[in-house]
Amino acid sequence: MLVLTRKSGERLMIGDDVMITVLDVGRGQVRLGIEAPKGVRVHREEIFAKVIEENRHAAEASGDFLPDWEGEGDED
């Protein structure tokens, strides 16, 4: 892993077109500004963990999937 030290207001370039600016540092948090082309997805890492967890739930739940409501119009 490449480790760099940056101060507030300083920037990082990743490749030619992704720029990360350290906006604010303090109290155990860092605020980052990210400028990237529209085609590049930027995520907090946690969302992947959430999607994986939900996929596992979905796969388990599909085992006895027999919805009562489906195709029967409105109920209650």
Partner 1 sequence: MRIENTRLGDLEVEDARIVTIPDGILGFPDSRRYVVLDLRKGSSLKWLLSVDRPELAFVVTDPHPWFPDYAVSLSDTDVAALAFREKDELSVMAIVTARGRRREDTTLNLRAPVAVNLRTLLGKQVVLSEDRWGVRVPLPVRTPSPSGATVRRAAGS
Residues lying near partner 1 in the complex (CB under 8 A):
37-43, 47-48, 50-59, 61-63, 65-71, 73-75
- Residues 34 and 40 sit within 8 Å (Cβ to Cβ): no
Integer CA distances (angstroms), 28 to 24, 25, 35, 45, in order: 11, 8, 23, 18
The least CB distance from residue 39 to partner 1, in Å, is 3
Minimum Å gap between C-beta 24 and partner 1 is 20
Nearer to partner 1, 3 or 69 (CB): 69
Q: How far is the CB of 19 from partner 1 (least distance, A)?
A: 17
Which pair of tokens denotes residue 35? 């400028």
